[in-house]
Chains A and B, each alone.
Chain A
């Protein structure tokens, strides 16, 4: 199969890559671009560990072909912090011990940010529904919910001040 050339923007930087027509965006990110923050837990869109943003939409990158990213803007976990300043979600996950093994954490952070971008003040129920597509095996989900809510509150506060 002939490789396809794809031009994208990843975390704000222009990125070009070659990929096979049947290659997933996750494989491209991990194996061709060295962005190993997104994980493959299932390869079938069940676990959410590979969550990334594609043109502002939360997707499982294991279910997206690399070729579909042509012209797209992609955001991954590697772009969440600004330099050495952690995103409030990242900080809240550490402060609230919302991670243990951490392999699901990048996906959950990307997914949580996607929710807070559209709803800065979600109910616990809305949050749990939203994160239902991200499986965590270690921590249980309560700390994750608490961390996201704490980050949301902090982000709302920052927004109000601004």
Chain B
């Protein structure tokens, strides 16, 4: 199981939960599981999110494995200048 921390405004879309747990081994599996378990998150996931795994931010990294016990934080899709 992966514990995923949500940013503030996403929590409303996930029954007020700050952290949700899904069964997933990779980033893609996690995002799919999140959208399924909490349909309110689906629009944001479809628009794009970044994922922080143990402090390393990934943008497109669907197949990146999520190690057991990793700190996983959902973040908005990062862009820069």
| Chains A and B in contact, CB within 8 Å | no
On B, residues with C-beta under 8 Å from A are none
On A, residues with C-beta under 8 Å from B are none
